[in-house]
Chains A and B, each alone.
Chain A
Amino acid sequence: MSETVHEDARADDQLLRDHVAGDPSAFGELFRRHQDRLWAVALRTSRDPDEASDALQDAMVSAFRRASTFQGNSKVSTWLHRIVVNACLDRMRSRRSRPTVPLPEQGDYLAPDPRDPINEHVARITVHDALAELPEDQRAAVVLVDLEGWSVEAAAEALDCPPGTVKSRCHRGRARLAQVLGNLAPPTPVSTTKPTNPEGPQARREGGQS
C-alpha cells in the first residue's frame, strides 16, 4: 500500500487534543489517516465485510465520543485499533447469540483487481478463508501480531489480556492456519523476515508519527 500524503501536518495526539477542544475536522482527519489499517483489522477480525463496516463505524463513533477519556498512555493509533478490535469482538459475540445464515459469496472487496498479480489475490483470498477457521480470540491475536505486525505487548494491550495469552493464542492459531493452508502452494517470492507494519505501533515506536 502506498504512503498517503496528508495535508494536515499535525501529529495524531495533537489532532485528538484539537478534537477534544472542539475542532470539528480533527477527528475526521484522524480517521482518514488510519482508515486503511483500521479497515484491514476490522475485516480480518470480523471475517464479514458488512460486519466489519458496521464495527468500524461503531468504533469511530465511540472513539469520537470517548476522546476526552484518552489518557495518553499509548499511541493514538493503538487506542483506535483497540476500539475497533473490541467493536468487532462485541459484534461477533452479539451475533453468536443471534445466529444467522452466512451468505455464500464474500463480497466485492475480494474481487480480483486486474492490476494485482494473480498470486497476490490467491494469497489474500486463501489467508482470509483460513483466518475464518480460527476461533475469534486466536484470530484477533494472529491478525494483530502476524498480519499487522504489532508487537505481542501492543496486541496484549489492545486485546486487554496478558502478553503470554497473546503468544499462546498466536501459537495455536498458527498451528491451525498451517493445517488449513497446508495443501496450498506458498506464494512467490517468500520472505522469511518478521513482518512489520509501516504504520503500526511497532514501527511508530521507532520514530514514526505518534
Chain B
Amino acid sequence: MTDSELPPLNPQDEAALLARLANTPSPPIPPAVSQRVAAAIDQEAQARAEQEEANVVGITRGRRGFRVLAAVASVAVIALVGVAVVPSLTGSNSDFAAQSLNACTVAADPAADLTPVMHESGQRYAMADFSDQAMGVMSEPAPECDQPQGDEAAGSQVQATNIMAEKMPMVRSCVVAEMVGRPIHVADMADFEGKPAVVVVAGAPEEVVALDCDKSQPAVLARKTMTE
C-alpha cells in the first residue's frame, strides 16, 4: 500500500500516535561512540594547532626574508651613494672607477652573504622572457666580484667600470626615480630588444622593470611582477 492509499488519521488516533512518539525515550549516546567522536574532535584540534604553528613559522621566515631584502636595499643605497654621489660631488671619475671596483665588496656584506646590486651583465633581454633573465642575473654575483685581481684582469675591469662610471649618475637617478620607495635587488645595465636599457629587479614580490634611462625621464619598456 502506497502513502497515497493510506487512510487519513482521525484526530484521536493522531493525538495518541503523537503522544506515543513523544513518550519514546531518547537513547543515550553509547560511551564508545561518544569517545570515538570526541577523539576525532581532539585530532582535528591537534591538526589545527599544528597547522597554525606551521603558519607562524612560515610568517616568521617570510619576515626574516623581508628583513634580508630590506638590508640588501639599505646596503645598496649606501653603496650607490658611496660610488656615485660622492665622486660626482668631487668630480673625480677616475677615483669613482676605482671605487666602483669595490662596489660589490661594499655591498656584499660577508656576514649577511648579500649579492651586489649593480650589474653590467651584457645580457640581451627579450620581451618574451626578460623577467626570467633578470631573475637569473639576480641570483649571480656581479661579474667584477668574481674576476681575478691580476694586472691583466684589472685592466679589463677598469675599462668596464669606466663605462659604468660614465652612466652611473644617470642610471642611479633613473632607477631611483622609477623605483622610489621599493628595495632594489638588481639594476643591470644591458640591452633590451636591441636598445640600451637598465633592467631592475625590485620590491617584494619581485617586480622586473626594463627602463630606458637614456632620456631625461625614465621610460618603462616592459614590466612584469613575479608570482610564486
Q: Enumerate chain A interface residues (CB-CB to B < 8 A).
A: 1, 22, 24-25, 27-28, 31-32, 35-40, 43, 49, 52-53, 56-57, 60-61, 64-65, 108-110, 116, 120, 123-124, 127-128, 138, 142, 146-147, 149, 172, 174-179, 181, 186-187, 190-195
B193 on interface, CB distance cutoff 8 Å: no
Report whether A187 and B30 are in contact in the complex, using a CB–CB cutoff of 8 Å: no
Contacts of A142 in B (CB 8 A): 21
From B21, B40, B52, residue with most partner A Cβ within 10 Å: B21
Q: What's the Cα separation between A110 and B26 when bound, in Å? A: 11
A109-B30, A179-B6 known; A31 vs B41 contact (CB < 8 Å): yes
Contact of A56 with B21 in the complex, beta carbons under 8 Å: no
Cα distance A36–B34 in the bound complex, in angstroms: 9
Whether A174 lies near B20 (C-beta < 8 A) is no
Interface assignment of B112: CB less than 8 Å from any CB of chain A: no
How far apart are B138's CB and chain A's nearest CB, in angstroms? Answer: 39
Question: Which of these binds chain A: B8-16, B116-124, B220-228?
Answer: B8-16
Q: List 23 A-B contacts (CB under 8 A).
A: A22-B52, A24-B45, A24-B46, A27-B41, A28-B38, A28-B45, A31-B41, A49-B30, A49-B33, A56-B37, A57-B37, A60-B37, A109-B30, A110-B27, A123-B23, A124-B27, A142-B21, A175-B9, A177-B17, A179-B6, A191-B19, A192-B16, A195-B18
Contacting pair B33 A64 (CB below 8 A)? no
**Docked-complex contact B17 and A178, CB < 8 angstroms:** yes
For chain B residues 171-210, which have a beta carbon within 8 Å of chain A?
none
Contact B20 A187 (CB under 8 A): yes
Residue interface mask B90-109, A partner, CB < 8 A = 1: 00000000000000000000
Told that A60-B40, A181-B20 touch, could you supply 18 new A-B pairs with CB distance under 8 A?
A1-B26, A27-B41, A39-B28, A39-B30, A49-B33, A64-B41, A120-B25, A124-B27, A138-B3, A146-B18, A175-B9, A177-B21, A178-B17, A181-B17, A190-B23, A194-B22, A195-B18, A195-B22
- Report the Cα distance A149→B38, complex, angstroms: 26
B27 touches A57 (CB 8 A): no
| Chain B contact residues, CB within 8 Å of chain A | 1, 3, 6-9, 13-30, 33-34, 36-38, 40-42, 44-46, 48-49, 52
The answer to whether A195 and B21 have CB atoms under 8 Å apart is yes
Interface secondary structure of A, over-half rule = helix
Determine the chain B residues whose CB is within 8 A of the CB of A65 once the complex forms.
44
**Bound Cα distance A27, B3 (Å):** 41
Chain A neighbourhood of B34, CB < 8 A: 35, 39
* CB–CB B21/A175 < 8 A: no
The answer on a CB contact under 8 Å between B33 and A39 is yes
The answer to whether A28 touches B42 (Cβ under 8 A) is yes
Q: Chain A CB within 10 Å — which of B8, B15, B26 has the most?
A: B26
The reply to whether B19 and A147 contact each other, CB–CB distance below 8 Å, is no
A146-B22 CB under 8 A given contacts A39-B28, A174-B9? yes
Residues of A within 8 A of B48 (CB): 24
Across the interface, do A176 and B41 meet the contact criterion of CB distance under 8 Å? Answer: no
10 closest pairs, A vs B, by CB? A195-B22, A39-B29, A40-B26, A175-B6, A146-B21, A127-B24, A24-B45, A172-B3, A64-B44, A53-B33
* A120 CA / B24 CA spacing, docked (Å): 7
Given contacts A27-B45, A195-B22, contact A43 B27 (CB under 8 A): yes
